[in-house]
Amino acid sequence: MMQNISTSNHDPVGWHGTTILSVRRGHSVCMAGDGQVTLGQTVIKGTARKVRRIGTGLVLAGFAGATADAFTLLERLEAKLERYPNKLERACVELAKDWRTDRYLRRLEAMMAVADKDHSYTLTGNGDVLEPDDGIIAIGSGGNYALSAARALIDIEAMTPEDIARKAMKIAGDICVYTNYSLTVETL
Residues noted as catalytic:
18
DSSP 8: B
Quote the distance between the C-alpha of residue 14 and its chain's center: 19
DSSP 133: S
Neighbouring CB atoms inside 10 A of 68's CB total 11
Q: Which of 179, 117, 118, 119 is nearest to 147 (CA)?
A: 179
Neighbouring CB atoms inside 10 A of 180's CB total 24
